[in-house]
Amino acid sequence: MSAKINATLAKIPSVFTGTGLKRDSMVYWAVVAGLALLGGLIGDSYVHHILILVFIWCIVIASWDLILGYAGIFNYAQLVFFTFGAYGSAMLSIYAGLTPLLAIAAAAGIGAVIGLIVAVPSLRLKGEYVALFTFAVHLALPPLIQQGKAIGMGGNTGLLGIPWLNLFGYQVSSIDKLTWYWVALAFGAVCVYLIYFIVLRGRMGLAFIAMRDADTFAQAIGVNEYKYKMLAFVVSAMFTAVAGGLYAHYTSVVTPKVLGTEFFLMAMVMLAIGGMGRFPGAVLGVFIVVIGNELLRSFDDYRLLLLGIAVVLTVIFLPNGVAGLFAKRK
Amino acid sequence: MQILEILISGITQGAVYCVVAVGLSLVYGASRILNFAHGSLYSLGGFLAWYLVVGGPGLPLWLAFLLILPVLALTGVVIERAIIRPLRGSDNWKINTIMVTLGLAFIIENGLQLVFGPGTRTIPPFVEGSLSIGGITITWYKLSIFVISLALVGTLELFLSSTRYGQAVRAVSQDMQGANQVGINVNQVFSTTFALSVVLTGVAGILLAPVFLVSPLGGWAPFLKAFVIVVLGGLGSTKGAFVAAFILAVLEAFVIFYIGPSWAMPAWLLMLIIVLMVRPKGLFGVWEN
């Protein structure tokens, strides 16, 4: 039996078996350090702003990749987790006076709970039913936020005046783009590292891939499907909520717009263009799409249409995204 | 009396929902594709009719119908050929079809918004007035869309059960490979079911345009409703969808009357969760998952 497992393991690229972790980590942190340096060299605060958004999106898309690309669960409620993180963190810091960093940490907890709540019904379903159920949750949330005006969710106008991040007594205003650049990079780099290098290369990641590629075999060798799928939801939602909290304190405004078509389409295009389940595909996708989206600003009327077309075309002509271009393995 | 009126309103509504649901179920049955653009195609039907009747040349509704039907059918064939068929047999077929149909939904939505603007539209009903019997009033329009919807679903059921072509569709639904081996042109069946499905949802969009309003983003509600109906009825079962549509539409009518219209959508979602938890096979399901 163990010979068989070893034979199976041998076929899996080193990315999933933990070998080469040190080497890959060093490359990863070198790139992050390069980006940190780059931030200091860039003088244009608009470029900083775009890259801050890139780093925040990276957390969301890496988390989505974890559940959709690696665990193979058709979850489309990712922005629901983001919204709960953003609203949770904003409300805790506005109404309870929590310091923003603590509020973001609390948002992670809120995200984990929401992940659990969405997971329980989803785990009884299969395939496209999960997609539909989770997407229905996404569609149902904006009206609920409007009803939530009574408990201080701000209705349609959203929440304004969310406190700025406070780092060791220093207020980081949204105008201070350079500090924000480093903060967002630090958050993004740590979260993405935790997702791809710790969670997905560990036991959990192996279990995810086993369930995705051969669920009967995975169960036969003792992978607890229910437990690991539940964990996929919780971990993914937790990181996404952190991104939501970060976003709320950066823009200092949250409105139900975060659940609108534009954000959802952007997220889909990022994952489609980057390629699912193939690090660093999804992260590259974020860079390509956010920057591309800015370049398309002048075609504002057609932008959403073009994003939709981009989803369809990439899925048909580039089914594994840009990550598929590099990979030799089929 | 009031309860009877709510009941009637639910039943007439249910017939139209049934048309949308049967279209969704037909494609899923034959090709195992959950078409996320089904609701947007519903809006497309409504907008085409609005353009021909109100916004553009001002044609009578029946003529608009005749012009729109082939357009809808062609749209279905093109969607199947151009974006669904290339994916068939690919690695992550299931997730890829979800992605492209969602992408398509956004393309249609934003296309409609670009062409017609973001506002809501309405079409005047083709019959005015109402019928009242024993204190119960029902508009002639609702009555006629009820009859048209029943006729559509009935015709489809007849087509599936007693024509050679319908039997081919059913054969493909039950066993695609087997159907292929006995010489059924599976690709043609996929195209046909897609065309029929788009026609059905588009027609429902036209019929409901005078009752609800048409808007570019307005397709998600009928899509979700159709899905709940299909799940309750059992995937691939026309009879099931028929019964489920009436049960759920009547429930909706009661929720709207007693709790308020803003709770209609949450109520549908709640029903979806309950159905999926209690009876994921549906009432008449023959579904293998």
**pLDDT greater at residue B42 or residue B256:** B42
Q: Do the beta carbons of residue A130 and residue A73 sit within 8 Å?
A: yes
- Residue A14 token pair: 């080193």
Average pLDDT over residues B94-121: 89
Whether omega before B222 lies within 30 degrees of 0, making that bond cis, reads no
| Interface contact flag, B266 A140, Cβ < 8 Å | yes
A–B interface: beta-carbon pairs under 8 A: 103
Q: Do the beta carbons of residue A112 and residue A268 sit within 8 Å?
A: no
Amino acid at B156: L
Confidence of residue B89 (pLDDT cuts 50, 70, 90): confident
Is B249 an interface residue toward A (CB < 8 Å)? no
Nearest of B109, B266, B183, B247 to residue A265 by alpha carbon: B109
User: What is the model's pLDDT at position B287?
Assistant: 45
Q: How far apart are CA A215 and CA A268, in angstroms?
A: 26
| Interface contact flag, B106 A143, Cβ < 8 Å | no
Is A126 an interface residue toward B (CB < 8 Å)? yes
Average pLDDT over residues A151-163: 80
| pLDDT of A328 over the 70 cut | no
User: What is the model's pLDDT at position A311?
Assistant: 86
| Interface contact flag, B106 A307, Cβ < 8 Å | yes
Dump pLDDT digits (tens) for B190-202: 999 999 999 999 9
| pLDDT of B26 over the 80 cut | yes
Is B266 an interface residue toward A (CB < 8 Å)? yes
User: What is the model's pLDDT at position B40?
Assistant: 94
Q: How far apart are CA B61 and CA B127, in angstroms?
A: 11
| Interface contact flag, A309 B103, Cβ < 8 Å | yes
Q: How far apart are CA A316 and CA B87, in angstroms?
A: 6
Average pLDDT over residues B43-71: 90
C-alpha pair distances (Å), A260 with each of A139, A211, A288 = 9, 32, 21
CB under 8 Å to A25, separation ≥6 — which residues?
Answer: A193, A197
| pLDDT of A330 over the 50 cut | no
Q: Where are the domains of chain A?
A: 12-257, 260-330
Dump pLDDT digits (tens) for B183-192: 888 889 999 9
Mean pLDDT score of chain B, rounded to an integer? 86
The C-alpha of A30 sits at a distance from chain B's nearest C-alpha, in angstroms, of 33
Query: Quick one: which H or E segment has residue A167?
Result: strand A165-167
Q: Do the beta carbons of residue A282 and residue A274 sit within 8 Å?
A: yes
For A147, how many CA atoms within 13 A lie in the half-sphere containing its CB?
A: 8
List, in order of start, the domains of chain B with CATH numbers.
Answer: 2-128+137-278 (1.10.3470)
Q: Write down the pTM of the prediction.
A: 0.84
Q: Do the beta carbons of residue A285 and residue A275 sit within 8 Å?
A: yes
Query: Quick one: which H or E segment has residue A137?
Result: helix A127-147
| pLDDT of A2 over the 70 cut | no
Q: Do the beta carbons of residue B117 and residue B134 sit within 8 Å?
A: no
Nearest of B199, B189, B285, B268 to residue B234 by alpha carbon: B285
B116 exposure class (CB count in 10 Å sphere: 0-12, 13-18, 19+): middle
| Interface contact flag, B276 A133, Cβ < 8 Å | yes
User: What is the model's pLDDT at position B289?
Assistant: 36
| pLDDT of A128 over the 80 cut | no
Name the closest residue on chain B to residue A68, using Cα atoms: B95
User: What is the model's pLDDT at position B78?
Assistant: 95
* DSSP-assigned letters across all residues of A271-321: HHHH-TTSTTHHHHHHHHHHHHHHHGGGGGGGHHHHHHHHHHHHHHH-TTH
Q: Do the beta carbons of residue B122 and residue B214 sit within 8 Å?
A: yes
| Interface contact flag, B265 A126, Cβ < 8 Å | no
| Interface contact flag, B34 A272, Cβ < 8 Å | no
What is the sign, positive or negative, of the torsion defined by CA atoms of A43, A44, A48, A54?
negative
A95 exposure class (CB count in 10 Å sphere: 0-12, 13-18, 19+): exposed
Which of these ranges, A64-78, A111-125, A149-163, has the smallest mean pLDDT? A149-163
Dump pLDDT digits (tens) for A298-316: 887 788 888 889 889 988 8
Please name the member of B99, B111, B224 whose beta carbon is closest to the beta carbon of A268: B99
Name the closest residue on chain B to residue A139, using Cα atoms: B220
* A-interface mutation test, from B92, B106, B109, B268, most A Cβ less than 10 A away: B106
Please name the member of B83, B276, B280 whose beta carbon is closest to the beta carbon of A312: B83
Q: How far apart are CA B132 and CA A46, in angstroms?
A: 66
Please name the member of B103, B262, B276 whose beta carbon is closest to the beta carbon of A308: B103
Nearest-Å Rg of the Cα atoms of chain B is 19
